[in-house]
Amino acid sequence: MQAKVIVVTSGKGGVGKTTTTANVGAALAKLGEKVVVIDTDIGLRNLDVVMGLEGRVVFDLIDVFEGRCKLRQALIRDKRIDNLFLLAASQVRDKSALDESKMQITAKQLIEEEGFDRVIVDSPAGIESGFQTAASAAQGALVVVNPEASSVRDADRIIGLLEAREIYEIYIIINRLRPEMVQRGDMLEVNDVLEILGKELIGIIPEDEAILISTNVGNIASLGKAGKAGEAFQHVARRMRGEAVPYMALQASGGFLAGLRKLFGGGS
């Protein structure tokens, strides 16, 4: 992806935006990029706790917007990787404190003055001001989709709104895929989702208990010894950097190749 400022979005809530932001951001940092992840879900802050950095928040994004601190003071350095930073959301304000022009200025400063290679913006759910502000500085987008009815429909709406903002570098991450349900014909296949949405794929993340367990203790799956989902997030980061990483086989029964073909659908 050419984009330096990338919004992670979905329309629907609870599909894995924050988990994706943390894991992709951390994986990019592990590959050597200087990365900042920004939580724009004002009033419902969660990226800090998902990353295990909740005890370190002093200043937040709204403090920066309203001039109560310098940008650098609000950047929280990750405890595991020193080129990964968090800019937390305010927990005491609401989304009316967001401002598109301030978001754009902040993103510009992060890249031009603070030297970040990548700014990953975790968008709130919905299509209103919170999402619009999160997208306002972005040149690219990762749209997180679960292979089920409401998530796919909402993703289509979000893609339309991103394109209306002239954001065209849009990639799909299919999250929480359950290979055994796909094989039974009870879950949309990867190619079904891509055909409906008309956008390109950049990641397939299988449903994985290890994600919940990592988050419980404030670890980021893509930084550790991975597990399937953590590994899949690492692959997303490598693809974002232009590497052609093959999609991993997610189905054990019926042979790896057959399983992979089945997930994509048809004989591809």
Per CB under 8 A, the segment of 69-77, 97-105, 159-167, 232-240 that binds other proteins is 159-167
**Per CB under 8 A, which of residues 228..257 are in contact with other proteins?**
none
C-beta closer to other proteins: residue 144 or 182: 182
C-beta closer to other proteins: residue 37 or 182: 182
Burial of 177 (0-12, 13-18, 19+ CB in 10 A): buried
Helix (H, G, I), strand (E, B) or coil at 258: helix
Which residue among 149, 164, 217, 244 contacts other proteins (CB under 8 A)? 149
The whole-angstrom distance between residue 239's C-alpha and the CA centroid of its chain comes to 14
Strands 84-87 and 76-77: antiparallel
Q: Are 262 and 254 in contact (CB under 8 A)?
A: yes
Which residue among 3, 84, 141, 159 contacts other proteins (CB under 8 A)? 159
Which residue among 68, 70, 77, 157 contacts other proteins (CB under 8 A)? 157
Which residue among 13, 32, 160, 254 contacts other proteins (CB under 8 A)? 160
Owner of token pair 């991993």: 248
Retrieve residue 47's tokens.
């990226």
Under rule CB under 8 A, residue 153 binds other proteins: yes
* Inter-CA distances, 162 with 108, 199, 210, 237, Å: 19, 12, 32, 21
Minimum distance from residue 3 beta carbon to other proteins (Å): 19
* Spatial strand order in the sheet of 169-177: 76-77, 84-87, 35-39, 118-122, 5-9, 140-145, 169-177, 200-206
Minimum distance from residue 166 beta carbon to other proteins (Å): 15
Retrieve residue 198's tokens.
């008309």
Under rule CB under 8 A, residue 141 binds other proteins: no
Which residue among 28, 143, 152, 263 contacts other proteins (CB under 8 A)? 152
**Per CB under 8 A, which of residues 179..208 are in contact with other proteins?**
182, 185-189, 192, 196-199
Binding interface with other proteins (CB under 8 A): 148-149, 152-153, 156-157, 159-160, 163, 182, 185-189, 192, 196-199
